[in-house]
């Protein structure tokens, strides 16, 4: 059975009674006996690793008490069909039975967490209201935008010295996250045939195609939040010596 994920804060809070719906969230004049006045998120946008709370406000458009069920369904959406990589399946919450006084309002809130590795662009939340016979009374859907995750690292690369067919370069890795990086491997590629001949402060290897892998040593394997480590190497070049255009740290792209 799929685990119920991302609903650790999913305690629907019922406010029963003859409470008038605030004018700020009151929708258009009622077209049926029950109306969903609003479905909002707080905060209205998140990034992976953050969370948001969806709040729905339901209004009894009649002068008589009404009993109904409220069901909430959420799913992560991405650029393609199916569940985006790194995102969980969210099982529907159990329906909530609500009895609401005439001309009263009820609100319920559900918390959702976006995993740090989730690649979704949107969290879609749908709320449906049905009467005891199962007849649909109202339905609303709202989308929570999910911003692209910030790069977990930044890399600065510079050639510190260059001569005919030889050069010295230095790469500096900065941890841009709020957590320590324990163990690191930086990968990049040369595009003009440059070859690394020796290195310091990292264990560096290079393939025949120019791809370079630089691994941490025992004394610099941990990068604290906001801290940096640097390593250097000696290399050869012929014709031109352009800098690598992209760097990847432990499989994640870095800002340059």
Predicted confidence at residue 28, as pLDDT, reads: 63
User: Phi and psi dihedrals of 219, rounded to 5?
Assistant: -85, -10
d(CA 208, CA 212): 10
Strand partners, 175: 153
pLDDT tens for the chain, residues 1 to 256 = 333 333 333 333 333 333 333 323 345 678 789 999 999 999 999 988 899 999 999 999 999 999 999 999 999 999 888 999 999 999 988 999 999 999 999 999 999 999 988 999 999 999 999 999 999 999 999 999 999 877 889 999 999 999 999 999 999 999 998 889 999 999 999 999 999 999 999 999 999 999 999 999 999 999 999 999 999 999 999 999 999 999 999 988 999 9
d(CA 56, CA 212): 52
Domains in the chain and their CATH numbers?
34-145 (2.60.40.10), 153-253 (2.60.40.290)
Q: How far is CA 114 from the centre of its chain?
A: 5
pTM for the model stands at 0.58
Q: What is the pLDDT of residues 109-129, one digit of tens each?
A: 999 999 988 999 999 999 999
């Amino acid at each position: 059975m799929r685990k119920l994920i991302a609903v650790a804060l999913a305690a629907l809070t019922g406010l029963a009674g003859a409470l008038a719906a605030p004018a700020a969230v009151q929708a258009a004049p009622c077209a049926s006996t029950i109306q969903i006045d609003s479905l909002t998120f707080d905060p209205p946008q998140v990034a992976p690793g953050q969370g948001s709370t969806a709040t729905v406000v339901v209004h009894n458009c009649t002068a008589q008490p009404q009993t109904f069920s409220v069901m909430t369904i959420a799913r992560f959406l991405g650029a393609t069909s199916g569940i985006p990589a790194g995102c969980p399946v969210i099982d529907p919450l159990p329906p909530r039975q609500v009895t609401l006084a005439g001309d009263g309002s009820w609100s319920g809130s559900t918390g959702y967490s976006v995993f740090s590795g989730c690649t979704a662009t949107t969290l879609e939340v749908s709320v449906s209201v049905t009467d005891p016979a199962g007849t649909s009374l109202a339905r609303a859907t709202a989308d929570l935008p999910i911003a692209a995750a910030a790069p977990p690292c930044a890399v600065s690369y510079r050639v510190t010295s260059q001569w005919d067919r030889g050069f010295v370069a230095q790469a500096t890795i900065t941890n841009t996250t709020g957590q320590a990086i324990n163990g690191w491997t930086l990968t990049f590629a040369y595009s003009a045939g440059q070859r690394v001949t020796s290195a310091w402060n990292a264990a560096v290897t290079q393939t025949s195609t120019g791809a370079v892998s630089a691994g941490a040593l025992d004394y610099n394997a941990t990068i604290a939040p906001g801290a940096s480590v640097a390593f250097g190497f000696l290399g050869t070049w012929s014709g031109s010596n352009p800098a690598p255009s992209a760097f990847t740290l432990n499989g994640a792209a870095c800002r340059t």
